[in-house]
Chain A
């Protein structure tokens, strides 16, 4: 009985409800006759698609800035890197000169540019957050919103030549949704793309076994990122960062510059955000500009909280479990709901309620406990 109680305390009511709900959804979708393999493929795809964006929360939380709603900064950097890389690739005619290597170069350039932008912005953003200690979340939410609104103006003013990016008839402005089909879309995860464009020795990147799609490339990249973050928090620098987030006074007295650790944590979080949105776009196959990323920070925050993180502590398992549960529910709910009640909007409504409910719950726990 006692172990059951500690088990319950460890998991917490919302996670229990969400976990049970997810299992029920999976069972009912199998009972309704959906192919389990297709279901697993879908869940896997969405899990990996959002994984890195959720992973970006870890350095922020660990370094003490709390839930980084300002990951939009990283997302905007990543998107900027991606559109610039695509434009450069188009202007220098990589498709003609490099063949199958062109998408790889575009992807790498996008990642490199995105990470550089994110590092610079993240550092400045970290400095700002050091000046608003105690109100980081409120400020970062609105900084995130402002950045997305500012980028809207940027997207609208860029005069690019790449036909995939610009509006067909106007001189300036980028499309709302740009297809990545001719570029790095699906390069790591879509069997059709990989089979069609890549040489034989790379075709293991994504393949099908019956109904099951296995995106090995994406699994490897996401796994590598998780491993790197895990490793980082075992290095001296990472341990110092966790310390800075855990107990400021103690860390200061042991000679660690808390403010610098917080800036580093914010910058790493922002950089992961940039990588995250590029991997997201690569899996999704489309680059979503303008207001599409406005609420992505909220989804990431909700995911890691569902995974069991608090405002002060988070680790890789929180990322993996949280993203699996949150995205899993969204993926499985849609077909089930459509079959049972035919209300297409229900999964979207569920998403809003679950994600904001869990954030609210986490906030009330921390602040309530501190009184």
Chain B
């Protein structure tokens, strides 16, 4: 009996905590059924959009942790990326090298912009979101000034393919085919393995030298990592493997199998550890259950319908590795000193300053990181989409990224990698099926298109309102219990448990 109520309770709180996500999942499911689109189309579209957008959504997480709320200012990072892309295309560079150059140009610009935005936000604490939103529009104005008036008008530029015929201003769209299109997507796996091997080799050598000089110690983990990389590098020379790796796209089925194999190995290692250390209970049961689940999942790929979808969808490898890398980075930075400082600043400015943290500096740093990440995210987006809409590519980016993050169940004060990824999947599923569903339901595809825009605005409005309401109620409660002057202080002290 007791057990039962506990299960119900935890189920209830799970449903309540994830209400936005669940509601959205139901809408998506309904829209998929209504649209009647083939699964291959939907899954393929969703994965394309995951490639394009996840990086940018993940760039939002650090400012949330640092208490800056949802960073509407990522538009500025995107602008930095687009400035770089324009010049790289103008100078005639292309391919992976051209993309490298774009990254080299864009990153310092984005870091500088992020620094300025952070400085500005420090002057407007508590109003960062509205400021960021307006700042995005303002920056868009300056961007248009640069692209419509200054380029050609003041800066001499001569390229009829890029410039409007009368010589002033950049054209509406820039075709990236043949220069930057797929310059990240099309990197071959074998190249990634090679580069990764040499990087690890260099790092290990440096560590070894430092070890010999007795400056620091090389750990066993370092050697294991090097061993695994070297092994992978060696395997990549086996002809069958080499042929497999010399493509740039990975069928979803293969990627899925690979992920399952890695997960299975991890669980087997855990299981063996548990048995060797003679542990009981969940330490043994959990790996076994998970292994069974993996087995079932793998078996499911033999269902013809699923197999068809999974063979149809091809994933570009490098963008997904970059996304995984950013997830890892977001996770890792929280355990560093900087990450801890960010958390403290995000929880309470007064606590942060009492414990000697330079809150303003931490906030600026969070903005710099977020802006640079958003800039890289925009580069991934542009090279995948292949046409650069000069005046439109950046305008909706904050809007859609934030809506996606919120759909995943994040709030103004709490956001995780998991929420970002779930959010992207749900939000973009709706984006893909909504027009078709609208056509079936209202006999008008336009309705579906407007509906998805409405949802993206509405979900932001709703979660901002819920957040503000919670904050207001909290300050009101402390007002009745304590002196009014403290109510103001508690406004910037968000709740610790969320």
Contact = CB atoms under 8 A, between A and B. Distances in A.
Q: Do A and B bind each other?
A: yes
Contacts of B127: 137-138, 363, 367
B130 A352 contact: no
B447 interface: yes
Contact of B141 (A128, A153, A356): A356
Interface in B368-383: none
B138 A139 contact: no
B138 A346 contact: no
B453 A149 contact: yes
A153 B451 contact: yes
A8 interface: no
B472 A360 contact: no
A197 interface: no
B135 A360 contact: yes
A363 B124 contact: yes
B138 A353 contact: yes
A131 B464 CA distance: 12
Contacts of B457: 142, 145-146, 148-149
Given A149-B453, A150-B454, A346-B149, A367 B465 contact: no
Contacts of A346: 148-149
B101 interface: no
B472 A131 contact: yes
Nearest to B454: A149
A153 B461 contact: no
Nearest to B166: A342
Contact of B134 (A133, A173, A363, A368): A363
Nearest to B138: A356
A142 B461 contact: yes
Contact of B125 (A345, A356, A367): A367
Contacts of B468: 131-135, 138-139
Contacts of A368: 123-124
Chain A CB within 10 Å — which of B125, B141, B442, B491 has the most? B141
Contacts of B142: 353
B145 interface: yes
Contacts of A89: none
Contacts of B137: 298, 352, 356
B85 interface: no
B450 A153 contact: yes
A356 B142 CA distance: 11
Interface residues of B, number: 47
Contacts of A298: 137
Given A349-B148, A353-B145, A141 B133 contact: yes
A121 interface: no
Nearest to B456: A149
Contacts of A172: 444
Interface in B442-495: 442, 444, 446-447, 450-451, 453-454, 457-458, 460-461, 464-465, 467-469, 471-472, 475, 484, 491
B387 interface: no
A168 interface: no
A120 B465 CA distance: 20
A135 B464 contact: yes
Contacts of A137: 127, 130
Contacts of B144: 345, 348-349, 352
A146 B447 CA distance: 15
B129 interface: yes
B126 interface: yes
Nearest to B473: A131
A152 interface: yes
Interface string A140-160: 011101101110110011000
Contact of B472 (A133, A249, A342): A133
A364 B131 contact: yes
Contacts of B442: 157
Contacts of A367: 123-127, 131
B461 A139 contact: yes
Contacts of A173: 444, 446
Contact of A360 (B134, B166, B446): B134
A4 interface: no
Chain A CB within 10 Å — which of B129, B134, B145, B484 has the most? B134
A121 to B, nearest CB: 14
A163 interface: no
A286 to B, nearest CB: 21
Interface string A89-100: 000000000000
Given A173-B444, A345-B144, A138 B129 contact: yes
B284 interface: no
A153 B472 CA distance: 33
A143 B135 CA distance: 19
A338 to B, nearest CB: 13
A359 B124 CA distance: 13
Interface string B119-163: 010011111011101110110111011001100010000000000
A343 interface: yes
A141 B130 CA distance: 8
Contacts of B465: 128, 131-132, 139, 143
Given A298-B137, A356-B134, A364-B123, 8 more contacts: A134-B471, A135-B467, A135-B471, A141-B130, A152-B453, A349-B141, A360-B120, A364-B131
List the 3 closest A-B pairs by CB distance, nearest first: A352-B141, A132-B468, A135-B468
19 contacts: A132-B464, A133-B472, A134-B472, A134-B475, A135-B472, A137-B127, A139-B461, A139-B464, A141-B130, A143-B461, A153-B450, A157-B447, A341-B149, A345-B148, A348-B144, A349-B145, A352-B140, A356-B138, A360-B138
